[in-house]
Structure 1
Amino acid sequence: MSTTSQDASDLPGEASGTSGAKDLAGQLGELARSLQAEQDFEATLATMVHAALDLVPGAGHASISVARARRTIECHAPSSPLPATVDRLQEEHREGPCLDAAYAEKVVRVPDFGDERRWPSFAPAALGAGARSMLCFQLYTSGEELGALNIYGTGPEVFTAESEEVGLLAATHAAVAFADAQRIQHLYEALATRDLIGQAKGVLMERYKITAQQAFLLLTTASSRTNLKLRDVAEQLTTTGTLPTTNR
């Protein structure tokens, strides 16, 4: 009696599912390595966006939004003009999926802007701008500043449960990289500010033959009297040669 054997690669279900999971794990691993290799803040965000476009089924456009106190929204690394337009509309109407994802929910799914009722002012405007569907993932919350990864569908009803699951995994990797990139950016900004203030002190020391402490006192006095940040006072002095006009 003969027996018929079947190759494991021909078996449906578990084998193909395992292969797909391995492919996704490999892609996410590659994303993590790419994010770790980036040193520039905007380059890190662009890597996140491109990865989301590659990984999430149905994705057509993507971006990262940074919202502050529900008043302003900054669009970073948009893959096309659409995300920047949608962020501007959310800021204008003070409502929308990115804001909800950033402030209230981990994931916000918009199957079809044509049937959307959660944002009566924003949704029709977004539809008119060309947005048909969206997935928004919360990246981080830090005080009044919050971030979201936004993925725009190629049409209505294109996102599935798999799209949401894969997007959430990608957003989890992106959130860690985003936090690291922000810390590095803040460090660079702090160093740049320190150098700028040092240059401004040097200008005053040379001009008035005073000590470093006296020069710093002049800068802080100008800052308090003009209600300008110390960095802005130092920048004006180093670029124009004059201190801001004091308001007594």
Structure 2
Amino acid sequence: MDLFPPSNELGATLGRIRGLVLTQETAQHAVDLLAQVTQETTSNASGAGVSLIHESQRTSVGATDALVRTADDLQYTLSEGPCLTAWSTRSPVTIDDTTIDVRFPQWSAAAAGAGVRSCFSVPLLRGRDSLGAMKVYSTVPAAFDDADRARLTSLSIAASALLGHVQTSETSTRISSELRESLRSRDLVGIAKGILMEREGLSESEALAALTARARSTGVPFRQLTADIVNGHGDHGTRDALR
């Protein structure tokens, strides 16, 4: 099992999310999509969620199912729990077994009663700001290992930049500089593929083939072509390149 998801896979995933998010420009839409991706990224998760938090209050919440919503609601009702702590301390929080963990006695007891046995929460950090937290829950104890935690931490870095981009209402025609930096230049290809997959209904292999063919036919350097698509500059006719 790879410790980190492949960069092109992460880039394509976030590129696709970005393509969807920017059609609505809402943080709620972003957290809903990111919650789904978080669960898919972590194989042992029974459910996943993403919360944006301001002054200890949730402003937007994405959850994959009722188990996640219940576990999250309990934290804000009881004013304690791993998600709130990850957000406030800017540090990840792992609970291997809610029936024996003593850090959040009220929440752990209530969560165990609701069916949650283990969880992992990681803060969403953007510069000096803590935007919220991303979390996974499981109905079995000790469900998440180092590889799971590494994957979620890796995803949270790029997700934080994306959410910051939406929250600050930056222009919808370019990706934020923080996201470009977090994914690095090699991920421009993955992001561009994801955008084309969503915008033009292509498969991943078709999107890559279209990018390659268009770069060759226009003489535009491949990296520049992908950067232009990510930044929303011009129409490179990628669908036509498949014909």
TM-score by length of 2: 0.62
User: Which structure ranks higher in relative contact order (CA pairs < 8 Å, sequence separation ≥ 6)?
Assistant: 2
Q: Which runs of 5+ in 2 are unaligned?
A: 173-243
Equivalent residue in structure 1 for 2:41, among 55, 62, 65:
55
Any idea what SS the aligned residue of 1:149 has?
strand
Q: CA deviation at 1:48?
A: 1.2
- Alignment deviations for residues 76-120 of structure 1 (CA, whole Å, 9 cap, x no partner): 121001222122211121110011110103211111111111011
Point out 4+ residue stretches in structure 1 off by more than 4 angstroms.
Answer: 20-23, 141-145
Q: Which runs of 5+ in 1 are unaligned?
A: 1-16, 188-248
Q: Distance in 2 between matches of 1:141 and 1:94?
A: 24
**Residues matched between the structures, number:** 168
Does structure 2 conserve the Cα–Cα contact (< 8 Å) formed by 1:66 and 1:73?
yes
Matched, 1:64 2:50: yes
Matched, 1:171 2:151: no
> Superposition RMSD on alpha carbons, in Å?
2.7
Any idea what SS the aligned residue of 2:18 has?
helix
Q: CA deviation at 1:75?
A: 5.7
Any idea what SS the aligned residue of 2:141 has?
coil
Question: 1:102 and 1:60, CA in 2 relative to 1: closer, same or farther beyond 3 A?
Answer: same
Q: Distance in 1 between matches of 2:3 and 2:94?
A: 23
Equivalent residue in structure 2 for 1:99, among 45, 68, 84:
84
Q: CA deviation at 1:145?
A: 7.2
Any idea what SS the aligned residue of 2:124 has?
strand
Q: Distance in 2 between matches of 1:155 and 1:161?
A: 16
Structure 1 stretch displaced more, 76-85 or 39-48: 39-48
- Name the residue aligned to 1:87: 72
Matched, 1:130 2:130: no
Matched, 1:77 2:52: no
Structure showing greater radius of gyration is 1
Q: Distance in 2 between matches of 1:175 and 1:130?
A: 29
Q: 1:219-230 residue pairs with structure 2 within 5 A?
A: none
Q: CA deviation at 1:43?
A: 2.5
Matched, 1:36 2:18: yes
Q: CA deviation at 1:23?
A: 5.9
- Alignment deviations for residues 26-54 of structure 1 (CA, whole Å, 9 cap, x no partner): 32111221232121322322221111111
Q: CA deviation at 1:68?
A: 3.0
Q: CA deviation at 1:130?
A: 1.6
* Structure with the higher fraction of residues in helix conformation: 1
Matched, 1:139 2:124: yes
Q: Distance in 2 between matches of 1:75 and 1:36?
A: 17
TM-score by length of 1: 0.60
Q: CA deviation at 1:162?
A: 0.2
